[in-house]
């Protein structure tokens, strides 16, 4: 055992090695960012304490001729759809746990997931679809159960009408 090394020497050596490592990584992967920072005309240490106040832009609207504009809600802003997605994700979690406990084969597992998704067909064309795919993937991985590829997940959704 090396008794001639002290803890102080050890920590200094490890600290130096880590510092050298991060300098090399910084130079290798962030070279352009470092150059831009060093060559910028407005350096962050020369900036004033507070930015100048910004005046709000004056909106020019005709007073009584403006008609109300209907704002189209995005799918993720629809509360009813969001509630359905939450319900589907909890149902999928329960189904995947049940499939794991009962030892389902892959085709039975896929059929179970398809049946769960079929009840919530409103989710099919929305951005929530990717979130549901993530729930399926994460829950399957959580139990070390059947992992579905991206292609297989797409096939799940093609069966939903």
* pLDDT tens profile 98-151: 888 888 888 888 888 888 888 777 777 777 888 888 888 888 888 777 777 778
The backbone region for 58, taken as left when phi is positive above 0, alpha when psi lies in -120 to 50, beta otherwise, is: beta
The more confident residue out of 52 and 147 is 147
The 10 Å Cβ neighbour count of residue 148 is 19
Extract the tokens encoding 126. Answer: 């929305």
Q: How far apart are the C-alpha atoms of 145 and 141, rounded to whole Å?
A: 6
Q: What is the pLDDT of residue 11?
A: 94
Residue 14, pLDDT > 90, answer yes
Provide the H-helix boundaries in 40-161: 79-102, 106-118, 128-142, 150-158
Residue 22, pLDDT > 70, answer yes
Mean pLDDT of 27-35: 86
Mean pLDDT of 90-96: 87
Task: Please state the pTM of the whole predicted model.
Answer: 0.49
Looking up tokens 């008794």 gives 3
Mean pLDDT of 87-108: 86
């Amino acid at each position: 055992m090396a008794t001639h090394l002290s803890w102080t020497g050890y920590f200094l050596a490890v600290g130096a090695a880590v510092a050298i490592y991060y300098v090399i990584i910084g130079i290798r992967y962030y070279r352009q960012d470092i150059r831009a920072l060093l060559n910028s005309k407005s350096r962050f240490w020369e900036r004033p304490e507070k930015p100048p106040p910004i005046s709000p832009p004056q909106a020019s609207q005709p007073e009584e001729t403006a008609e109300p504009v209907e704002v189209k809600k995005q799918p993720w802003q629809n509360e009813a759809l969001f509630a359905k997605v939450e319900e589907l994700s909890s149902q999928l979690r329960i189904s995947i746990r049940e499939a794991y406990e009962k030892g389902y084969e892959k085709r039975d597992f896929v059929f179970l997931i398809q049946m769960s998704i079929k009840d919530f067909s409103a989710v099919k064309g929305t951005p929530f679809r990717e979130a549901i795919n993530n729930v399926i993937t994460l829950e399957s991985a959580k139990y070390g159960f059947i992992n579905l590829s991206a292609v297989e997940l797409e096939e799940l959704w093609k069966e939903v009408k």
